């Protein structure tokens, strides 16, 4: 039976990397029926939203989606399609492995980090108050009444929401993932020394959950210290579990440790649905140029294959990508010694090279 998967090319460079990824996934021999759904900036004129309802309906039907990045205009307009998707489908866990491969231009070797980021709350919960609005005035009055601290009338507010339920399930997800995939340690990352209520709750919940997993080592780190530790000795860390904002930042930092966003995959997983997508955004300045690296999305595709219980195909695909990286010939500009290297190939040529490696494995 072929796997029916919702395919969302996204916008910017999304369609190019999605096409490259679709091709290599099909070259693994696994059969797919792609339920193609359009989302992104081009949808705004026709539908008034970057995320038309049929995209959500398709994922609800198929349970699994492979998604290219979608642009979110800064500071104004509609809400991020990515945040909306994660909230609507309750994709509470954002899984971002960061692994070094021979041939990647990284300062480090032997990194195998897995970032587990909470995906539904924290400062991303969408509870915000715009400067100068009646709602913001009311919030200022209420805070002044309750705390004795009066925020300036020129201020805006974003509420940091941390709950026991969301903290518990993300930490459990991290431990279950660690156990199922042979990891030895989970590190909870927080700033509970300053945000004693919100991050304090995340941390105490993490400690509670850790007691249920005596076979896995548990520790915690304050987020600023964690950043320094990751730069100095990333090989000391294994699975990291973090609230939403720290998870977002640390996963980009981890992508930097292993050679850049071009090779950093991701997955958004809930109890019913899963959406696989690269960590990076739509890189709009390169749109339509057949330039950016499709490997982050290809590795996300390999994660999807594992989710679909196609483990052997996932391993073959990862091996084929790793071989192309190791040879260093058919790789995009970001994996070359200099970004203006004239031997860099384009997005679709990387797909050709990976497909060739897959063919040689048959
Ligand atoms: P970005 O990740 O799109 O790009 C930043 C830079 O990283 C690029 O200019 C490029 O130099 C490099 N880069 C990114 N992906 C690459 C690839 N595959 N190969 C080679 N180089 C690559 O980040 P941004 O510019 O901050 O964001 C652009 C847009 O994407 C924004 O609107 C943002 O909101 C959105 N975004 C979407 C998602 C998503 O859909 N999940 C995630 C992050 C950002």
What was the pLDDT predicted at 2? 97
Confidence category of residue 147, pLDDT binned at 50, 70, 90? very high
For residue 283, the CA-to-ligand 1 centroid distance in Å is 4
Phi and psi dihedrals of 113, rounded to 5? Answer: -95, 150
How far is the C-alpha of 292 from the C-alpha of 44, rounded, in Å? 25
Percent of the chain residues past pLDDT 90, beyond the cut: 87
Given a cut of 90, whether residue 79 has pLDDT beyond it is: no
Annotated active-site residue 92? The verdict is no
What was the pLDDT predicted at 309? 95
**For 94-116, what is each residue's pLDDT tens digit?**
999 999 999 998 889 889 999 99
Confidence category of residue 26, pLDDT binned at 50, 70, 90? very high
What was the pLDDT predicted at 284? 95
Q: Report the b/e string of 26-55 with b at 16+ CB within 10 A.
A: ebbebebebbebbbbbebeeeeeebbbeeb
Given a cut of 80, whether residue 222 has pLDDT beyond it is: yes
Annotated active-site residue 191? The verdict is yes
Confidence category of residue 125, pLDDT binned at 50, 70, 90? confident
Given a cut of 60, whether residue 76 has pLDDT beyond it is: no
Residues with CB under 6 A from ligand 1: 69-72, 82, 261-262, 277, 280-285, 292-293, 296, 332, 334
Concatenated DSSP letters of 258-277:
TT-GGG---EEE-SS-EEE-
Outline where the chain has alpha helix (H).
14-27, 43-47, 53-62, 81-88, 134-147, 164-180, 198-210, 223-232, 244-257, 295-307, 311-327, 347-361
The stretch 278-283 carries a mean pLDDT of 94
Annotated active-site residue 340? The verdict is no
The answer to whether the CB of 8 falls within 8 A of the CB of 35 is: no
Which helix (H) or strand (E) segment holds residue 32: the answer is strand 32-36
What was the pLDDT predicted at 320? 98
From 224, 233, 285, 341, the catalytic residue: 224
The answer to whether the CB of 36 falls within 8 A of the CB of 18 is: no
What was the pLDDT predicted at 95? 97
Pocket test for ligand 1, best of 281, 290, 296, 335 (most atoms within 8 A of CB): 281
The answer to whether the CB of 232 falls within 8 A of the CB of 83 is: no
From 124, 177, 237, 273, the catalytic residue: 124
Strand partners, 240: 115, 187
How far is the C-alpha of 13 from the C-alpha of 288, rounded, in Å? 7
For residue 359, the CA-to-ligand 1 centroid distance in Å is 31
What's the mean per-residue pLDDT of the chain?
95
Give the nearest ligand 1 atom to 286 CA.
9
Q: How many CA atoms lie within 13 A of 135 on its CB side?
A: 7
Give the nearest ligand 1 atom to 279 CA.
42
Pocket test for ligand 1, best of 80, 249, 282, 334 (most atoms within 8 A of CB): 282
């Amino acid at each position: 039976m072929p796997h029916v998967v919702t395919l969302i090319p996204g916008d910017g460079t999304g369609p190019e990397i999605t096409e490259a990824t679709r091709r290599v996934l099909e070259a693994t021999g696994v059969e797919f029926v792609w339920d193609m759904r359009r989302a992104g900036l081009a949808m705004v004129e026709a539908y008034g939203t970057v995320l038309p309802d049929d995209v959500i309906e398709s994922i609800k039907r198929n349970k699994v989606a492979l998604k290219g990045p979608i642009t979110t205009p800064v500071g104004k307009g509609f809400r991020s399609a990515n945040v909306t998707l994660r909230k609507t489908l309750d994709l509470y866990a954002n899984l971002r492995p960061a692994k070094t491969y021979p041939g990647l231009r990284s300062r480090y070797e032997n990194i195998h980090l897995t970032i587990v980021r909470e995906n539904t709350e924290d400062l991303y919960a969408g509870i915000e108050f715009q400067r100068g609005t009646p709602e913001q005035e009311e919030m200022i009055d209420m805070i002044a009444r309750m705390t004795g601290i009066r925020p300036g009338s020129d201020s805006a507010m974003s509420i940091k929401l941390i709950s026991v339920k969301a903290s518990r399930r993300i930490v459990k997800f991290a431990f279950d993932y660690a156990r199922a995939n042979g990891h030895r340690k989970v590190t909870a990352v927080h700033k509970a020394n300053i945000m004693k209520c919100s991050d304090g709750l995340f941390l105490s919940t993490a400690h509670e959950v850790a007691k249920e997993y005596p076979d896995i080592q548990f520790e915690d780190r304050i987020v600023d210290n964690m950043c320094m530790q990751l730069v100095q000795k990333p090989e000391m860390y294994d699975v990291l579990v973090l609230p939403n904002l720290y998870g977002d930042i640390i996963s980009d930092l981890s992508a930097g440790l292993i050679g850049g966003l071009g090779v950093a995959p991701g997955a958004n997983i809930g109890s019913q649905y899963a959406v696989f997508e690269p960590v990076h955004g739509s890189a709009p300045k390169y749109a339509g140029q057949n330039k950016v690296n499709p490997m982050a999305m290809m590795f996300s595709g390999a994660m999807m294959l594992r989710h679909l219980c196609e483990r052997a195909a996932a391993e073959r695909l990862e091996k084929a990508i790793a071989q192309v990286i190791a040879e260093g010939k058919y790789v995009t500009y970001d994996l070359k010694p200099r970004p203006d290297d004239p031997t860099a190939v384009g997005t679709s040529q990387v797909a050709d090279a990976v497909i060739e490696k897959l063919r040689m494995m048959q």
